[in-house]
Amino acid sequence: MLVAFGLLAASCTGGDGDGSSGGTGSIQELAQGAEQLSLLSVAGQSQREAVQTGKSFLAFDLTSGGGKLLGGGSPQVYLARSRTAKPLGPFPATWSTWKGYDETGDTSPKTVLPGVYWAQIDVPEAGLYAIAAVTQDNGKRAVGEAHAYFKDEVPNAVGSKAISVKTPVATKPTLIKRICTRKPPDPMHYISLDKALANGKPTVVSFATPLLCESQLCGPVVDEQLLVFRAVGKERANFIHVEEFLPGKDLQPPRAEAANQSPGFKAWGLLTEPWVYVIDGKGVIRARFEGPVVAQEIAAALQPLL
């Protein structure tokens, strides 16, 4: 299960600037004289967890030097093959708070993160990249740095065929509890994934275990998916939550270990969670999100497919 950890260093708590420094010759130049703050993320930390090249979404959270979680502002994200190379970007990041948790009446474990920053980035070549996020913090330029891996070939890649697998179906609350650890159980179990991939509609599928998620991101992420479900409806798209650990008839999910993962989760070969995929009507993956994702991101990926 997924544990949030540091990736970049950046922050913003005040100021209305865009974070640009006037000199973008390199990340090294961007960092000169800037205040250093911290950012949390869940992607690209190792080659095994590499971000896919091309257009994708990068989500992260920001903290002050004392560890205070921050929000707001518009950090600018830059990526380069080294600190001294000319960077790609800037890619503007948007701050979004978690809305689904409260709006859907979720009582599952909840992340302490108040929301997430997310940016649409475009990385054309594979490799290890230096990353910097630049912003204004109370009138001062703040820059953070880290590295992330990008690969052309990743599991369940954008552009690849989604894995068709039968997943549990239930529509009555008493039966949904047997296949969903969210409290209360969500209604996105009304259709099996294999059926959804064959009915010609786009599909939004999450792989998450709200009750047992170590990062406590699963509940909020499923809630954000649920907000999009409510706005779009099952007549226009399929919405499915694939539970990692099935509670069963006794409503007691098994130990959270790989051997007990549900068949649907295993079929996709996932090593972390939560994951959200947006799939077109022909069964091709068009967007993949690991870790924190908000309704705005899901809707942005789904809208062109409707």
Q: Cα(29)–Cα(247) distance, rounded to whole angstroms?
A: 53
- 234 & 183 share domain: yes
Averaging pLDDT over each range in 12-21, 34-43, 127-136, 178-187, which range is the top one?
A: 178-187
Q: Cα(250)–Cα(303) distance, rounded to whole angstroms?
A: 39
For residue 45, being part of any structural domain is answered with: yes
For residue 165, being part of any structural domain is answered with: no
For residue 276, being part of any structural domain is answered with: yes
Query: Which structure tokens are listed for 235?
Result: 């007549």
What is the residue whose two structure tokens read 């998620």? 213
- 102 & 227 share domain: no
Q: Among 98, 119, 151, which residue terminates a domain?
A: 151
Q: Report the residue count for the chain.
A: 306
pLDDT above 70 covers a percentage of the chain that reads 91
Sheet with 275-279, edge to edge strand ranges: 238-243, 203-208, 275-279, 285-290
pLDDT value at 10 more than 60: no
Output the CA angle 180-181-186, nearest 5 degrees.
Answer: 55
Write the CB contacts of 159 (distance below 8 Å, at least 6 apart in sequence). Answer: 284, 285
Q: Report pLDDT for 18.
A: 38
Q: Among 120, 151, 182, which residue terminates a domain?
A: 151
- 75 & 203 share domain: no
Q: Cα(163)–Cα(221) distance, rounded to whole angstroms?
A: 21
pLDDT band at 41 (very low <50, low <70, confident <90, very high): low
- 134 & 249 share domain: no
- 225 & 297 share domain: yes
Write the CB contacts of 297 (distance below 8 Å, at least 6 apart in sequence). Answer: 57, 59, 96, 118, 289
For residue 57, being part of any structural domain is answered with: yes
| CATH classification at residue 81 | 2.60.40
Q: Among 116, 151, 186, which residue terminates a domain?
A: 151
Domain that holds residue 81: 5-151
| CATH classification at residue 231 | 3.40.30.10
For residue 167, being part of any structural domain is answered with: no
Please state, rounded to an integer, the average pLDDT across all residues of the chain.
88
- 143 & 41 share domain: yes
- 220 & 272 share domain: yes
For residue 209, being part of any structural domain is answered with: yes
pLDDT 10s digits, 204-261:
999 999 999 988 999 999 999 999 999 999 999 999 999 999 999 999 999 999 999 9
- 64 & 193 share domain: no
- 118 & 182 share domain: no
For residue 162, being part of any structural domain is answered with: no
Q: Report pLDDT for 16.
A: 33
Q: Cα(173)–Cα(190) distance, rounded to whole angstroms?
A: 11
For residue 168, being part of any structural domain is answered with: no
- 177 & 281 share domain: yes
Rounded to an integer, what is the distance from CA 299 to the centroid of its chain? Answer: 13
What is the residue whose two structure tokens read 């502002």? 73
Q: Cα(162)–Cα(268) distance, rounded to whole angstroms?
A: 9
- 144 & 177 share domain: no
**Count of the separate structural domains present in the chain:** 2
Residue 275: beta bridge partners?
207, 290
Q: Per-residue DSSP letters for the chain?
A: ----EE------SS--S----S--S-HHHHHTTPBP-EEEE-SSSSGGGPEESEEEEEEEEEE-TT--EE--S--EEEEESSTTSPPEEEEEEEEEE--HHHHTT--S---S--EEEEEEEEE-S-EEEEEEEEEEETTEEEEEEEEEEEES--TT-TTSBPPP-------SHHHHTTT--SSSPPSTTSS-HHHHTTSSS-EEEEEE-TTT-TTS-HHHHHHHHHHHHHHH-TTT-EEEEEESS--TTTT----SSGGG--HHHHHTT-SSS-EEEEE-TTSBEEEEEES---HHHHHHHHGGG-
Q: Cα(129)–Cα(179) distance, rounded to whole angstroms?
A: 40
Least confident of 17-21, 80-84, 285-289, 298-302: 17-21
- 31 & 143 share domain: yes
